[in-house]
Amino acid sequence: MPQDQLTLDDQLCFAIYSANHAFTRLYKPLLEAIGLTYPQYLVMLVLWEQDDQPVGAIGERLFLESSTLTPLLKRLEAAGYVRRTRDPADERQVRISLTEHGRAVQALTRDFPRCIMDASRMSRDQLMALKREVAGLRDAFMGKGTPGG
Amino acid sequence: MPQDQLTLDDQLCFAIYSANHAFTRLYKPLLEAIGLTYPQYLVMLVLWEQDDQPVGAIGERLFLESSTLTPLLKRLEAAGYVRRTRDPADERQVRISLTEHGRAVQALTRDFPRCIMDASRMSRDQLMALKREVAGLRDAFMGKGTPGG
DNA sequence: AGATATTATATCGTACGCGATTTAATCGCA
DNA sequence: TGCGATTAAATCGCGTACGATATAATATCT
Protein backbone atom coordinates (compact mmCIF):
# COMPACT_ATOMS: atom_id res chain seq x y z
CA MET A 1 0.00 0.00 0.00
CA PRO A 2 1.53 3.32 -1.08
CA GLN A 3 2.45 5.57 1.79
CA ASP A 4 0.30 8.41 0.49
CA GLN A 5 -2.88 6.32 0.53
CA LEU A 6 -5.45 7.58 2.96
CA THR A 7 -6.96 4.83 5.01
CA LEU A 8 -10.32 5.26 6.68
CA ASP A 9 -8.80 5.37 10.13
CA ASP A 10 -6.42 8.16 9.16
CA GLN A 11 -9.33 10.42 8.43
CA LEU A 12 -10.38 13.01 10.97
CA CYS A 13 -13.62 13.35 9.03
CA PHE A 14 -14.47 9.72 9.76
CA ALA A 15 -13.54 10.06 13.43
CA ILE A 16 -15.97 12.97 13.70
CA TYR A 17 -18.63 11.21 11.62
CA SER A 18 -18.51 8.04 13.70
CA ALA A 19 -18.21 9.90 17.01
CA ASN A 20 -21.38 11.78 16.10
CA HIS A 21 -23.20 8.51 15.54
CA ALA A 22 -21.81 7.14 18.80
CA PHE A 23 -23.14 10.24 20.60
CA THR A 24 -26.55 9.77 19.03
CA ARG A 25 -26.67 6.15 20.15
CA LEU A 26 -25.49 7.07 23.65
CA TYR A 27 -28.22 9.69 24.00
CA LYS A 28 -30.93 7.51 22.49
CA PRO A 29 -32.02 5.66 25.65
CA LEU A 30 -31.76 8.85 27.72
CA LEU A 31 -33.86 10.80 25.24
CA GLU A 32 -36.40 8.07 24.64
CA ALA A 33 -37.30 8.32 28.33
CA ILE A 34 -38.41 11.92 27.76
CA GLY A 35 -39.81 11.43 24.26
CA LEU A 36 -37.27 13.37 22.21
CA THR A 37 -35.01 12.55 19.29
CA TYR A 38 -31.45 13.83 19.29
CA PRO A 39 -31.98 16.76 16.87
CA GLN A 40 -35.17 17.63 18.76
CA TYR A 41 -33.10 17.72 21.96
CA LEU A 42 -30.70 20.19 20.34
CA VAL A 43 -33.65 22.44 19.47
CA MET A 44 -34.86 22.21 23.06
CA LEU A 45 -31.40 23.20 24.30
CA VAL A 46 -31.66 26.33 22.17
CA LEU A 47 -35.09 27.15 23.55
CA TRP A 48 -34.19 26.43 27.19
CA GLU A 49 -31.39 28.93 26.76
CA GLN A 50 -33.68 31.54 25.17
CA ASP A 51 -37.41 31.03 24.82
CA ASP A 52 -39.61 32.43 22.05
CA GLN A 53 -37.36 32.54 18.98
CA PRO A 54 -38.23 32.58 15.29
CA VAL A 55 -37.41 29.52 13.19
CA GLY A 56 -34.54 31.28 11.46
CA ALA A 57 -32.80 32.15 14.73
CA ILE A 58 -32.92 28.52 15.84
CA GLY A 59 -31.51 27.54 12.48
CA GLU A 60 -28.61 29.95 12.87
CA ARG A 61 -27.72 28.47 16.23
CA LEU A 62 -27.85 24.88 14.98
CA PHE A 63 -26.67 25.51 11.39
CA LEU A 64 -29.90 23.98 10.04
CA GLU A 65 -32.21 25.05 7.21
CA SER A 66 -35.92 25.75 7.46
CA SER A 67 -36.49 22.69 5.30
CA THR A 68 -35.11 20.64 8.18
CA LEU A 69 -36.57 22.62 11.04
CA THR A 70 -40.14 23.14 9.87
CA PRO A 71 -41.14 19.45 9.97
CA LEU A 72 -39.13 18.87 13.15
CA LEU A 73 -40.84 21.78 14.90
CA LYS A 74 -44.25 20.57 13.77
CA ARG A 75 -43.49 17.24 15.40
CA LEU A 76 -42.35 18.99 18.59
CA GLU A 77 -45.59 20.96 18.53
CA ALA A 78 -47.70 17.84 17.97
CA ALA A 79 -45.90 16.22 20.91
CA GLY A 80 -46.72 19.21 23.12
CA TYR A 81 -43.23 20.63 23.73
CA VAL A 82 -43.55 23.92 21.82
CA ARG A 83 -46.05 26.32 20.30
CA ARG A 84 -45.73 27.77 16.78
CA THR A 85 -47.32 31.19 16.38
CA ARG A 86 -47.07 33.73 13.56
CA ASP A 87 -45.53 36.94 14.81
CA PRO A 88 -48.31 39.56 14.58
CA ALA A 89 -45.74 42.29 13.96
CA ASP A 90 -44.24 40.37 11.02
CA GLU A 91 -46.47 37.64 9.68
CA ARG A 92 -43.57 36.08 7.79
CA GLN A 93 -41.99 34.90 11.02
CA VAL A 94 -43.10 31.90 13.05
CA ARG A 95 -42.08 32.23 16.67
CA ILE A 96 -41.34 29.05 18.63
CA SER A 97 -42.09 29.11 22.35
CA LEU A 98 -41.95 26.44 25.05
CA THR A 99 -45.08 24.97 26.60
CA GLU A 100 -45.26 24.23 30.33
CA HIS A 101 -44.36 20.65 29.49
CA GLY A 102 -41.46 21.72 27.29
CA ARG A 103 -40.03 23.78 30.15
CA ALA A 104 -40.59 21.02 32.69
CA VAL A 105 -38.66 18.49 30.66
CA GLN A 106 -35.41 20.36 31.19
CA ALA A 107 -35.28 19.10 34.77
CA LEU A 108 -35.21 15.54 33.47
CA THR A 109 -31.98 16.18 31.58
CA ARG A 110 -30.05 17.22 34.67
CA ASP A 111 -27.93 14.08 34.90
CA PHE A 112 -27.16 13.77 31.19
CA PRO A 113 -23.70 15.37 31.56
CA ARG A 114 -22.73 12.81 34.18
CA CYS A 115 -23.89 9.96 31.92
CA ILE A 116 -21.77 11.34 29.09
CA MET A 117 -18.75 11.89 31.32
CA ASP A 118 -18.98 8.37 32.72
CA ALA A 119 -19.24 6.81 29.27
CA SER A 120 -16.40 8.93 27.90
CA ARG A 121 -13.87 7.91 30.56
CA MET A 122 -12.57 11.49 30.36
CA SER A 123 -12.52 14.29 32.90
CA ARG A 124 -14.71 17.35 32.65
CA ASP A 125 -11.67 19.43 31.75
CA GLN A 126 -10.59 17.02 29.03
CA LEU A 127 -14.07 17.04 27.56
CA MET A 128 -14.21 20.84 27.62
CA ALA A 129 -10.82 21.09 25.97
CA LEU A 130 -11.85 18.64 23.27
CA LYS A 131 -15.08 20.55 22.75
CA ARG A 132 -13.11 23.77 22.23
CA GLU A 133 -10.85 22.15 19.65
CA VAL A 134 -13.69 20.55 17.69
CA ALA A 135 -15.73 23.77 17.74
CA GLY A 136 -12.65 25.65 16.55
CA LEU A 137 -12.25 23.26 13.64
CA ARG A 138 -15.92 23.70 12.72
CA ASP A 139 -15.59 27.49 12.85
CA ALA A 140 -12.47 27.39 10.69
CA PHE A 141 -14.34 25.30 8.11
CA MET A 142 -17.14 27.85 8.11
CA GLY A 143 -14.78 30.75 7.57
CA LYS A 144 -15.06 32.01 11.11
CA GLY A 145 -11.41 31.42 11.91
CA THR A 146 -8.97 34.22 12.71
CA PRO A 147 -9.14 36.02 9.37
CA GLY A 148 -5.60 37.38 9.55
CA GLY A 149 -4.00 34.08 10.56
CA MET B 1 -29.26 31.60 34.40
CA PRO B 2 -28.36 28.93 36.95
CA GLN B 3 -24.74 27.84 36.85
CA ASP B 4 -25.67 24.22 36.28
CA GLN B 5 -27.63 24.97 33.11
CA LEU B 6 -26.12 23.40 30.05
CA THR B 7 -26.01 25.81 27.16
CA LEU B 8 -25.76 24.56 23.62
CA ASP B 9 -22.22 25.81 23.27
CA ASP B 10 -21.09 23.94 26.38
CA GLN B 11 -21.99 20.67 24.77
CA LEU B 12 -19.31 18.50 23.22
CA CYS B 13 -22.09 16.59 21.50
CA PHE B 14 -23.14 19.72 19.63
CA ALA B 15 -19.54 20.57 18.71
CA ILE B 16 -19.21 17.11 17.17
CA TYR B 17 -22.64 17.28 15.53
CA SER B 18 -21.98 20.64 13.91
CA ALA B 19 -18.38 19.80 12.99
CA ASN B 20 -19.70 16.75 11.18
CA HIS B 21 -22.07 18.93 9.17
CA ALA B 22 -19.27 21.37 8.46
CA PHE B 23 -17.13 18.51 7.16
CA THR B 24 -19.97 17.32 4.95
CA ARG B 25 -20.39 20.79 3.48
CA LEU B 26 -16.64 21.18 2.99
CA TYR B 27 -16.45 17.88 1.09
CA LYS B 28 -19.58 18.52 -0.94
CA PRO B 29 -18.02 20.49 -3.82
CA LEU B 30 -14.99 18.17 -3.90
CA LEU B 31 -17.19 15.08 -4.03
CA GLU B 32 -19.70 16.49 -6.48
CA ALA B 33 -16.86 16.74 -8.97
CA ILE B 34 -16.44 12.96 -8.83
CA GLY B 35 -20.13 12.12 -8.41
CA LEU B 36 -20.14 10.84 -4.83
CA THR B 37 -22.02 11.77 -1.69
CA TYR B 38 -20.15 11.91 1.60
CA PRO B 39 -21.33 8.53 2.97
CA GLN B 40 -20.65 6.99 -0.43
CA TYR B 41 -17.11 8.39 -0.23
CA LEU B 42 -16.62 6.67 3.12
CA VAL B 43 -17.68 3.37 1.57
CA MET B 44 -15.22 3.94 -1.27
CA LEU B 45 -12.44 4.59 1.27
CA VAL B 46 -13.18 1.19 2.79
CA LEU B 47 -13.07 -0.50 -0.61
CA TRP B 48 -9.92 1.29 -1.77
CA GLU B 49 -8.24 -0.03 1.35
CA GLN B 50 -9.53 -3.59 0.78
CA ASP B 51 -11.49 -4.58 -2.30
CA ASP B 52 -14.18 -7.27 -2.50
CA GLN B 53 -15.83 -7.23 0.92
CA PRO B 54 -19.27 -8.43 2.02
CA VAL B 55 -21.84 -5.82 3.04
CA GLY B 56 -21.53 -6.71 6.71
CA ALA B 57 -17.77 -6.14 6.77
CA ILE B 58 -18.21 -2.66 5.31
CA GLY B 59 -20.86 -1.99 7.92
CA GLU B 60 -18.50 -3.04 10.72
CA ARG B 61 -15.84 -0.64 9.50
CA LEU B 62 -18.26 2.28 9.21
CA PHE B 63 -20.59 1.35 12.08
CA LEU B 64 -23.56 1.25 9.70
CA GLU B 65 -26.46 -1.19 9.38
CA SER B 66 -27.46 -3.12 6.29
CA SER B 67 -30.63 -1.03 6.19
CA THR B 68 -28.40 1.97 5.48
CA LEU B 69 -25.83 0.26 3.28
CA THR B 70 -28.05 -1.79 0.97
CA PRO B 71 -29.72 1.19 -0.74
CA LEU B 72 -26.47 3.18 -0.76
CA LEU B 73 -24.59 0.31 -2.40
CA LYS B 74 -27.33 -0.10 -4.98
CA ARG B 75 -26.88 3.55 -5.89
CA LEU B 76 -23.10 3.11 -6.10
CA GLU B 77 -23.71 0.12 -8.37
CA ALA B 78 -26.16 2.04 -10.56
CA ALA B 79 -23.56 4.81 -10.86
CA GLY B 80 -20.92 2.31 -11.96
CA TYR B 81 -18.51 2.44 -9.00
CA VAL B 82 -19.05 -1.06 -7.60
CA ARG B 83 -20.42 -4.48 -8.43
CA ARG B 84 -22.71 -6.48 -6.10
CA THR B 85 -22.43 -10.24 -6.48
CA ARG B 86 -23.76 -13.07 -4.35
CA ASP B 87 -20.91 -15.14 -2.93
CA PRO B 88 -21.23 -18.57 -4.59
CA ALA B 89 -19.70 -20.21 -1.50
CA ASP B 90 -22.30 -18.59 0.78
CA GLU B 91 -25.32 -17.27 -1.03
CA ARG B 92 -26.37 -15.21 1.99
CA GLN B 93 -23.48 -12.83 1.46
CA VAL B 94 -23.31 -10.09 -1.14
CA ARG B 95 -19.74 -9.19 -1.98
CA ILE B 96 -18.97 -5.63 -3.03
CA SER B 97 -16.11 -5.11 -5.47
CA LEU B 98 -14.78 -2.05 -7.27
CA THR B 99 -15.24 -1.51 -10.99
CA GLU B 100 -12.44 -0.08 -13.14
CA HIS B 101 -14.10 3.29 -12.77
CA GLY B 102 -14.42 2.89 -9.02
CA ARG B 103 -10.71 2.20 -8.74
CA ALA B 104 -9.79 5.05 -11.06
CA VAL B 105 -11.69 7.60 -9.00
CA GLN B 106 -9.27 7.21 -6.11
CA ALA B 107 -6.65 9.19 -8.01
CA LEU B 108 -9.03 12.15 -8.12
CA THR B 109 -9.14 12.32 -4.33
CA ARG B 110 -5.39 12.79 -3.95
CA ASP B 111 -5.51 16.44 -2.97
CA PHE B 112 -8.45 16.19 -0.59
CA PRO B 113 -6.21 16.09 2.51
CA ARG B 114 -4.56 19.34 1.48
CA CYS B 115 -7.98 20.99 0.97
CA ILE B 116 -9.04 19.89 4.44
CA MET B 117 -5.77 20.98 6.03
CA ASP B 118 -5.97 24.38 4.37
CA ALA B 119 -9.55 24.94 5.48
CA SER B 120 -8.84 23.77 9.02
CA ARG B 121 -5.96 26.17 9.63
CA MET B 122 -4.31 23.40 11.60
CA SER B 123 -1.11 21.45 11.05
CA ARG B 124 -1.06 17.82 10.01
CA ASP B 125 0.13 16.87 13.49
CA GLN B 126 -2.63 18.84 15.18
CA LEU B 127 -5.24 17.20 12.96
CA MET B 128 -3.86 13.74 13.66
CA ALA B 129 -3.82 14.39 17.41
CA LEU B 130 -7.40 15.63 17.29
CA LYS B 131 -8.40 12.60 15.25
CA ARG B 132 -6.89 10.31 17.87
CA GLU B 133 -8.79 12.03 20.67
CA VAL B 134 -12.14 11.98 18.87
CA ALA B 135 -11.71 8.35 17.83
CA GLY B 136 -10.82 7.52 21.43
CA LEU B 137 -14.02 9.17 22.65
CA ARG B 138 -16.04 7.22 20.10
CA ASP B 139 -14.42 3.95 21.16
CA ALA B 140 -15.07 4.71 24.82
CA PHE B 141 -18.74 5.32 24.02
CA MET B 142 -18.88 2.00 22.22
CA GLY B 143 -17.36 0.12 25.11
CA LYS B 144 -14.01 -0.35 23.42
CA GLY B 145 -12.11 1.66 26.00
CA THR B 146 -9.43 0.16 28.23
CA PRO B 147 -11.62 -2.40 30.01
CA GLY B 148 -9.53 -2.53 33.16
CA GLY B 149 -9.29 1.25 33.60
C1' DA C 1 -49.29 54.19 -4.03
C1' DG C 2 -47.69 50.56 -6.93
C1' DA C 3 -44.20 47.64 -9.01
C1' DT C 4 -40.11 45.25 -7.66
C1' DA C 5 -36.81 43.21 -4.55
C1' DT C 6 -36.01 40.98 -0.38
C1' DT C 7 -37.01 38.07 3.51
C1' DA C 8 -39.14 34.13 6.32
C1' DT C 9 -41.16 29.75 6.13
C1' DA C 10 -42.89 25.95 3.82
C1' DT C 11 -42.85 22.31 0.28
C1' DC C 12 -40.73 18.83 -2.69
C1' DG C 13 -37.42 15.35 -4.15
C1' DT C 14 -33.39 12.75 -2.95
C1' DA C 15 -30.24 10.53 0.27
C1' DC C 16 -28.93 8.97 4.61
C1' DG C 17 -29.64 6.29 9.24
C1' DC C 18 -31.84 3.18 12.38
C1' DG C 19 -35.02 -0.32 14.70
C1' DA C 20 -38.05 -3.93 13.65
C1' DT C 21 -39.23 -7.32 10.63
C1' DT C 22 -38.76 -10.40 6.62
C1' DT C 23 -36.52 -13.56 3.51
C1' DA C 24 -33.31 -16.83 2.24
C1' DA C 25 -29.27 -19.57 3.12
C1' DT C 26 -26.36 -22.07 6.27
C1' DC C 27 -25.35 -24.32 10.61
C1' DG C 28 -25.99 -27.68 14.33
C1' DC C 29 -27.74 -31.13 16.59
C1' DA C 30 -30.61 -35.20 17.32
C1' DT D 1 -31.26 -36.72 7.07
C1' DG D 2 -34.13 -33.28 8.69
C1' DC D 3 -35.67 -29.53 11.42
C1' DG D 4 -35.01 -25.58 14.45
C1' DA D 5 -31.56 -21.90 15.34
C1' DT D 6 -28.55 -18.69 13.49
C1' DT D 7 -26.79 -15.56 10.11
C1' DA D 8 -26.68 -12.05 6.07
C1' DA D 9 -29.15 -8.91 3.38
C1' DA D 10 -33.12 -6.66 2.25
C1' DT D 11 -37.44 -4.23 3.27
C1' DC D 12 -40.40 -0.97 5.73
C1' DG D 13 -41.62 3.11 8.42
C1' DC D 14 -40.06 7.16 10.49
C1' DG D 15 -37.09 11.07 11.23
C1' DT D 16 -33.45 13.95 9.86
C1' DA D 17 -30.76 16.97 6.28
C1' DC D 18 -30.22 19.69 2.18
C1' DG D 19 -30.83 22.19 -2.43
C1' DA D 20 -34.21 24.09 -5.25
C1' DT D 21 -38.39 26.07 -5.50
C1' DA D 22 -42.82 28.11 -3.97
C1' DT D 23 -45.57 31.18 -1.20
C1' DA D 24 -46.62 34.98 1.34
C1' DA D 25 -45.41 39.16 3.75
C1' DT D 26 -42.53 43.15 4.23
C1' DA D 27 -39.23 46.54 2.49
C1' DT D 28 -37.70 49.61 -1.11
C1' DC D 29 -37.68 52.61 -4.79
C1' DT D 30 -39.69 55.74 -7.82
pLDDT tens digit string along B7-63? 777 799 999 999 999 999 999 999 999 999 999 999 999 999 999 999 999 999 999
Of A31, A27, A20, which is closest to residue A76 (Cα–Cα)? Answer: A31
- State whether the beta carbon of B91 lies below 7 angstroms from any atom of strand C: yes
Specify the fold of B12-110.
Arc Repressor Mutant, subunit A (1.10.10)
- Which sequence spans correspond to the domains of chain B? 12-110, 111-142
Tell me the CA–C1' distance in angstroms for B60 and D11: 20
Q: From the candidates B43, B64, B121, B134, which should be mutated to test the interface with A, based on the most A CB atoms within 10 A?
A: B134
Q: What is the mean pLDDT of each run of 10 residues along chain A (149 residues)?
A: 65 96 96 97 98 98 98 98 97 97 96 92 93 96 63
pLDDT at A5: 66
CB A102 within 8 A of CB A77: no
pLDDT at B146: 56
pLDDT at B149: 32
pLDDT at A143: 83
For residue A115, the chain B residue with the least C-alpha distance is B141
Measured in residues, chain A has a length of 149
Of A48, A44, A68, which is closest to residue A56 (Cα–Cα)? Answer: A68
pLDDT at B16: 97
- State whether the beta carbon of A54 lies below 7 angstroms from any atom of strand C: yes
Q: Yes or no: is domain A9-110 CATH 1.10.10.10?
A: yes
Tell me the CA–C1' distance in angstroms for B59 and D9: 12
Nucleotide nearest to A39 (CA to C1'): D16
pLDDT at A54: 98
pTM: 0.93
pLDDT band at B5 (very low <50, low <70, confident <90, very high): low
- State whether the beta carbon of A26 lies below 7 angstroms from any atom of strand C: no
pLDDT band at B4 (very low <50, low <70, confident <90, very high): low
DSSP letter, residue B122:
-
